[in-house]
Amino acid sequence: MGKSRRLWLALAVLLLLLASGLVLFLLFYHPAQAMEFFHWNTTVVDFNEGRFYHTALSWRGDGEVQLLPVGFEHPWVPGNNTGLPPRGAPAAAVWNNHIYVIGGDSAYGDTHSEVFYTTIINTLTHELADWQETTPLPASAYPKGVFRHEATAMTFTETNRTYLYVFGGMSPEGGETDYYDKVIYAEIRPDGTLGEWQETTHLPTPLYGMECLVLNGRIYILGGADQTGNSRPEVYYAVPDSSTGQIPEWRPTASLPALGTGGYVEASVAAEHGRIYVYGGAVSAVNPSYSPYVHFAAPDPATGEISGWTMATEVLPQNCYASEGAAYESGLLLAIAGAWNNAYDPSGDVRAALIEHDTGQTSEWFSTLGLTPRFWHAVVQDDFGWLYSIGGATGSAQGAPRLNEVWIASPYGEGRGFYQAAGGLIYPTQETTPTVYAPSGVYTSSIILVQLVEGQEASLTSLAWNTTITDPALMTVTVRYRYHHEGSWTSWHGPFPSRPGIGVTTTLPITGTCDWFQYSVRLETFSNTVTPFLNAVRIGILAPPNLTVKGLTVTGCDTCPTLVPPNEPVQVVFSVQNEGSSIPWGNNFYAMLFITTTSFTPWPPALPIGCENYPTETCPLIVPLYGQDFGEGAPSRTVSIPWTFTEPGVYHLVAYVDYNNTPAEPPPIYDVREYNEFDNSQERVVYVGNLTIYLPLVSKGWP
């Protein structure tokens, strides 16, 4: 094959512009016009990233924020209980989508040591796998089994170990009752099974009917009854060793108030906003009277110590016994089932109250969707805020049936556990009374990255929000915002009121430059049966300058741009467009054309090899184009430059544009960052040579 033919077969492929950064950006930012970008919060997923205080997600459309309904988002529905035997007064714990049920009795006096576990196999539908047995409690600790004990799981991030702990309890059998001060633990393996059980430091005294929880890396044991059956007010806490799981000691801290203000046998406990809440319970297990009182305390996060307990002004509507507690950072406190005013007639009632974060006080208690009657059940709360009520008894008498039921529900919590319907798990609501909403609440967005160009703060243009306020006499929505500028946060701007109506947008022009942005919305109602809605929020950001090369070509000859004849003047033509915002006055832009060798796309501050000290003979720079204040919406500027290619061959033309903010210096000075630095150049392969036309050979006179 001849040299010239090989030359013509060596076709070049144009380089693709690297647009991946822009594609990724458009997943989160929606361009409005060429010169502005909008960041949106409008869906369940968007709002789910923020913080909810007396507010919750709504499902009226694609996701809204409303005032917190004091109750359940979905009614209780049955979960898979295959493989789980009936158990009364078991202990339960949850870790990493595994739920554990430990011990319990199948009839009064018949306590057990088995440990069962299941897996939440779908965190959207909350479907459970069949229950399986894992390592049972050791006979050395619980020779007769145990019930009315406690359990919790605790993860240590520094060692990546998780342990399941079991505390205290009792086991009546044959007229004799054993009371336990035992504390045992086992490591939870990644597949959910348990390792071997080990004993660790015992409780200071045998206890049953007590409560436990984990807060700030510490295990707390609260209340319960001793061997005499009397309520104990003591509170203990411990910090397990993160490597071994061993508990070195139990430390006493401030006891619960004296028995004249309540008892703490089979009380409810929950933690919310750094506080521990203890409510209900019995004064004595022998001659019981029952408590409606609510007490709370805030342990020191650094030491774990409790300085004292406060009695809430509002009490439960009835004395409560053997109910289960749960709480949410949105400010919701729950008392789930149990018995009211006695220890014999269980109820399925679920009561809910609001917690004031400033004071810790609770609101009045409201009824919400309940269960079939039960007490001595266990309730766990998964990482998404869903509740699982497991087992229990229909009475305390020796012949009262034990349950193996599993019921699942979700209150209107802080939004972490948003629900997607699947498999018919949602049942129609049984609520017959109007929904009761919190009187006011605040939604605070996540901290939103609005920076479009690394190292350069974004310019804010507007903040707009869409609301539904059906009656402005009863409802209000106000908005505040702040932003992070040059290393520190501004103070909150606002509050700014919202326009009334259904789906109405309020737009607020704002200015300033920042890398991070945050907004906060306060919703308020003067009637607890109606709520306003926040439907969407939009943050406007000025698009950074963005010079782009468009349409690099060669004209001026019959065969251009496919083939350029040598030694014949032609025009190299390309255009420059600003697809971003205006350049501040004094910012120069320039355009360059390089004739270089094999495929090269320049990228600041690199230049083609041999072009560092342009113009050079091997890398000519064809007249830079200068300009100032390339305005928003300005038309493209065309660069047309005469050039003569003197030698046949394959040439790579590279057109390149950029900003120079230092007019006194020659280009290139790359000191104006652009939104997309990947579209500053365009390459074109040019073939230079003479067109050869082969004519057919015609012969006359041949036979």
Q: In the chain, what percentage of residues exceed pLDDT 90?
A: 58
> Does the CA dihedral 259-263-264-267 come out positive or negative?
negative
* pLDDT tens-digit series, residues 437-451: 999 999 999 999 998
Q: What one-letter code names the amino acid at 24?
A: L
Residue 326 has a pLDDT of 95
Of the two residues 628 and 688, the one the predictor is more confident about is 688
Residue 616 has a pLDDT of 47
Instruction: Give the separation between CA 169 and CA 119, rounded to whole angstroms.
Output: 26
Name which of 40, 38, 41 is nearest 542 in CA terms.
38
Instruction: Give the separation between CA 264 and CA 469, rounded to whole angstroms.
Output: 45
Residue 639 has a pLDDT of 77
* pLDDT tens-digit series, residues 332-385: 999 999 998 888 889 999 999 999 999 999 999 999 889 999 989 999 999 888
Instruction: Give the separation between CA 85 and CA 106, rounded to whole angstroms.
Output: 8
Name which of 482, 683, 478, 672 is nearest 585 in CA terms.
672
Residue 625 has a pLDDT of 52
Structure-token pair, residue 532:
């306003």
Instruction: Give the separation between CA 61 and CA 399, rounded to whole angstroms.
Output: 50
Mean pLDDT of all residues in 287-301: 92
* pLDDT tens-digit series, residues 173-221: 867 899 999 999 999 999 999 999 999 999 999 999 999 999 999 999 9
C-alpha count within 13 angstroms, C-beta hemisphere, residue 480: 13
Q: What is the DSSP letter of 445?
A: P
Question: Does pTM top 0.85 for this prediction?
Answer: no
Of the two residues 605 and 35, the one the predictor is more confident about is 35
In what helix (H) or strand (E) does residue 44 lie, and over which residues does it extend?
Answer: helix 44-47
Please provide the DSSP assignment of 69-135 as one string.
BSSEEEEEEE---TTPPP-BS-EEEEETTEEEEE--EEETTEEB--EEEEEEEETTTTEEPPPEEES
Cβ contacts of 193-200, under 8 Å, gap ≥ 24? 193/117, 193/134, 193/135, 194/115, 194/117, 194/134, 194/135, 194/164, 195/135, 196/135, 197/135, 197/137, 197/138, 197/141, 198/245, 198/246, 199/140, 199/141, 200/240, 200/245, 200/246, 200/247
Unique residue bearing structure tokens 């004031």: 356
Residue 16 has a pLDDT of 20
**How many other C-beta atoms are found inside a 10 Å radius of the C-beta of residue 533?**
21
Name which of 394, 384, 276, 256 is nearest 325 in CA terms.
276
Instruction: Give the separation between CA 538 and CA 658, rounded to whole angstroms.
Output: 31
Domains and CATH numbers, the chain: 3-23+545-688 (2.60.40.10), 36-68+437-542 (2.60.120.260), 72-411 (2.120.10.80)
Residue 27 has pLDDT above 60, yes or no: no
First to last CA, the chain: 34
